[in-house]
Structure 1
Amino acid sequence: MSVHAQTVIQWLEQFAPKSLAVEKDPIGLQIGTLNKKVNKVLITLDVTPAVVEEAIAKGAGLIIAHHPPVFRPLAHLRTDLPQGKVLARLLQHDIAVYAAHTNLDVAPGGLNDWLAQRLELSDVEVLAPTQHETLKKLMVFVPRDHEAQVRQALGDAGAGHIGNYSHCTFRTDGIGTFKPGEGTNPFIGSQGEIEQVEEVKIETIFPASIEKQVIQAMIKAHPYEEVAYDIYQLDQPGEARGLGRIGYLKQEISLQAFAAQVKEAFDVPFCRVVGPLDAPVKKVAVLGGDGNKYVQQALFKGADVLVTGDVYFHTAQDALMAGLKLVDPGHHAEKVMIRGLQQVLTEKAKEHKVSVDILSSEVNTDPFQMI
């Protein structure tokens, strides 16, 4: 019961591509090697000494963490200092550590969407866009008899999504001509003879990130030995990708009631709250981790409240003067990624019929206590 460590990371990067990470974020493999097989993978928010001992005890050969254990370049690697001891322990037990940080924050269905889901927000949008998908257009020529199956395959592979619509295409009828050469095995026609076939040109769009799977699906569904198709990049931006989410509660409630809801949803011992406790809350912005830089985005998008961690004193004062309420459940609220990513990778393993244990860390890595 094992899988190659690189395979697990491929699944992860399909879900949260490294290209989504913000500039200079030290994501990816940080410790050890992926050139090995593993029986168990441990998902954690932080890599602490207790988490490392947990990985050793459970026999995990790979740790996937949200917070990179090596965030800044090391000046030295001393095993008589705390960080060096942790790294040495990992190397001694051949445990690789891979960090999925802001790419997991930005990924559709990733950390910030998990936070929004915990708060039961609806009509959710990106709070602070960092990039837009690059869109491409595909045109493929198909014999009329196989139009439906090729169009279906393209849509099933993710092409043709426009807003909440899927399988969007446009068709044009025409006549295709070709002459099969020596060594061919044509689906229609004969070698050395020019053939005319009633064909349909199917046009559709897709995000550049899924180009490979779209082409594979098209070729598999297409009857021709050589498929004629064109792909070109579009100027219009695709779906926004970015940090944080903003959406609506089911019903308007007071700030005090909402703060209690946040505390329960994120399973934290307390929340810091900024604003009148009886103020109404309906439109909610949420951003995992340190969200001090995103007060203006929340105001611009009309949020009643911003839920984020590590709020500074002066940030709180500025938000209060601007009329934006704040609820700070702490940085550790990001622990929702443990169960979220465990579910994603477990489903990937089932999809590929691979037997590997994806484990959730049971160690509480929050350094703060309430007295």
Structure 2
Amino acid sequence: MLFSVTTRTFLHRLLLVPRFPKGLFSRLFMDLGALVTSLNDFASLSLAENWDNVGLLVEPSPPHVVHTVLLTNDLTEEVLEEAVDRAAGLILSYHPPIFRPLKHLTWGSWKERLVIRALENRVAIYSPHTAYDAVPQGVNDWLARALGTSSTSPLHRSTVPCYPGGNSYRVEFSSKHNPGLQATLSGLQTILGVSVTSLPARRGGEDWVRVSLSCTHDGMLQAVDLLAKDSILYKSTEVLPLQKPPFPEAGMGRLCSLSESISVATAVEKVKRHLGLSHLRLALGTEKTLESPVQTAAVCAGSGASVLRGIKADLYLTGEMSHHEVLDAVAEGTSVILCEHSNTERGFLRELRNSLMVRLEDKVQVEISEKDRDPLQII
């Protein structure tokens, strides 16, 4: 029996039939949950900045299997239609298309339309954003290679809660032995997400007890509420947020010490070649020329002013900075190369594709969007 395209599409959505890439009836696929776990392991979302919105942003109803992953820097409506045409089960969008909370889903806003169309066509959306900025061999390390061989280190090292999603707080207090203490300890032991440890201590020749609680966020709040009922205990209570030591080589931005110094003019040409650009913007530092040497460079993909601010370097390389931020850098003798925001990120998708193919053991196809592009052009 023959159906029209519209009828076939309707039946597909009704029956939730898994879609195969055009011309390819491959047995290779991954369950969405397993795929997301692998992506999270590839670059821990705990590396992302706390203001960011990362991870799985749009999830079709389960079960959902993915045959094709489409990589894009920005998820536009044009890229979403490309994903539908390619039968992609997941779009990995470097920038999160959902950043601020959506109060409704209507056809009046292009970002809301993205979510509607993605769910209608059973396309999941995942965004790593600043997790990929911070991870070793991520976006910033790729951008730093534009300048040639160098030793690099993060401008701002990454730290994360000691146990993301788990016990991230320590609550401590001391008390003399008394009947009320035992009742308090018994109450603390009933709180979900609180582990109690007590040790004997001596203070002023008297026997005391030092109590340490390992808590989740919710457990910490309940423990503090309980301790607040005893003013003496509450006054001695300390709450300590737990953090891991900085991740080795992970963090925002990169400081590059070049193996061999190059001129500003050479740096410009190297960056153009690495990013595939015919033009970029350059501000020379005070008393600097195109022939001035560059031995150190501070690099930040995207909008780098907040990350680069105050860093001593011969050159700043980033996507965009405001006029006054450029003036500040120039006044300190630092030259600035601006390439437009997403031009400093998009080229990383080629390396990402190769890395994910290995990581995912070729269980899914990983493709790069042909519709994704920087919205700004220099004409």
Aligned residue among 348, 354, 368 for 1:360: 368
Q: Take 2:378 and 2:259, find their aligned partners in 1: how far apart are those partners?
A: 31
Aligned residue among 272, 283, 305 for 2:315: 305
Q: Take 2:38 and 2:243, find their aligned partners in 1: how far apart are those partners?
A: 28
Please name the residue that 2:305 is paired with. 292
Please name the residue that 1:196 is paired with. none
One-letter code aligned to 2:357: T
Give the fraction of aligned pairs with identical amino acids, expressed as a percent: 32
| Residues 78/114 of structure 1: CA separation in 2 closer, same or farther (3 Å cut) | same
Q: Take 2:114 and 2:247, find their aligned partners in 1: how far apart are those partners?
A: 42
- 1:40·1:358 contact (CA, 8 Å) conserved in 2? yes
Q: What SS does the aligned partner of 1:370 have?
A: coil
Pairwise mapping of residues 176-325 of structure 1 onto structure 2 (< 5 A)? 239-275=248-284, 276-299=289-312, 303-325=313-335
- 1:20·1:106 contact (CA, 8 Å) conserved in 2? yes
Structure ID, larger Rg: 2
1:122-170: CA deviation from partner (whole Å, max 9, x where unpaired) = 2111122232797xxxxxxxxxxxxxxxxxxxxxxxxxxxxxxxxxxxx
| Residues 106/295 of structure 1: CA separation in 2 closer, same or farther (3 Å cut) | closer
Aligned residue among 71, 87, 90 for 2:118: 90
Please name the residue that 1:217 is paired with. none
1:143-199: CA deviation from partner (whole Å, max 9, x where unpaired) = xxxxxxxxxxxxxxxxxxxxxxxxxxxxxxxxxxxxxxxxxxxxxxxxxxxxxxxxx
Displacement of 1:79: 0.7
- 1:65·1:100 contact (CA, 8 Å) conserved in 2? yes
Q: Take 2:48 and 2:332, find their aligned partners in 1: how far apart are those partners?
A: 30
Displacement of 1:235: 8.8
Q: Take 2:98 and 2:160, find their aligned partners in 1: how far apart are those partners?
A: 29
One-letter code aligned to 2:143: L
Structure 2 unaligned regions, length at least 5: 1-27, 163-241
Please name the residue that 1:43 is paired with. 71
Displacement of 1:237: 5.7
Q: Take 2:146 and 2:333, find their aligned partners in 1: how far apart are those partners?
A: 25
- 1:284·1:305 contact (CA, 8 Å) conserved in 2? yes
Please name the residue that 2:151 is paired with. 123
Displacement of 1:327: 0.6
Structure 1 unaligned regions, length at least 5: 135-232
- 2:161·2:244 contact (CA, 8 Å) conserved in 1? no
- 1:128·1:297 contact (CA, 8 Å) conserved in 2? no
| Residues 295/38 of structure 1: CA separation in 2 closer, same or farther (3 Å cut) | closer
What TM-score do the two structures reach when normalised by structure 2?
Answer: 0.66
Displacement of 1:236: 6.8
Q: Take 2:115 and 2:109, find their aligned partners in 1: how far apart are those partners?
A: 10
Q: Take 2:63 and 2:131, find their aligned partners in 1: how far apart are those partners?
A: 23
What TM-score do the two structures reach when normalised by structure 1?
Answer: 0.67
One-letter code aligned to 1:251: E
Q: What SS does the aligned partner of 1:46 have?
A: coil
Please name the residue that 2:167 is paired with. none
Q: Take 1:56 and 1:235, find their aligned partners in 2: how far apart are those partners?
A: 41
| Residues 247/132 of structure 1: CA separation in 2 closer, same or farther (3 Å cut) | farther
Aligned residue among 19, 38, 41 for 1:14: 41
1:57-102: CA deviation from partner (whole Å, max 9, x where unpaired) = 1110100111000111113322133222222221111101011011
- 1:45·1:334 contact (CA, 8 Å) conserved in 2? yes
Displacement of 1:330: 1.3
Q: Where does structure 1 differ by over 4 angstroms across 4 or more consecutive aligned residues?
A: 233-238
Q: What SS does the aligned partner of 2:159 have?
A: strand
1:259-317: CA deviation from partner (whole Å, max 9, x where unpaired) = 12111111234211111323211212211111111333421xxx210101111100111
Q: Take 2:253 and 2:63, find their aligned partners in 1: how far apart are those partners?
A: 34
Pairwise mapping of residues 316-335 of structure 1 onto structure 2 (< 5 A)? 316-332=326-342, 333-335=344-346
One-letter code aligned to 1:245: R
- 2:146·2:270 contact (CA, 8 Å) conserved in 1? no
Pairwise mapping of residues 114-193 of structure 1 onto structure 2 (< 5 A)? 114-131=142-159
- 1:133·1:237 contact (CA, 8 Å) conserved in 2? no
Displacement of 1:357: 0.4
Displacement of 1:355: 2.5
| Residues 121/28 of structure 1: CA separation in 2 closer, same or farther (3 Å cut) | same
Q: What SS does the aligned partner of 1:298 have?
A: coil
Q: Take 2:272 and 2:266, find their aligned partners in 1: how far apart are those partners?
A: 10
- 2:158·2:246 contact (CA, 8 Å) conserved in 1? no
- 1:132·1:240 contact (CA, 8 Å) conserved in 2? no
- 1:286·1:306 contact (CA, 8 Å) conserved in 2? yes
| Residues 304/113 of structure 1: CA separation in 2 closer, same or farther (3 Å cut) | same
Q: Take 2:161 and 2:298, find their aligned partners in 1: how far apart are those partners?
A: 22
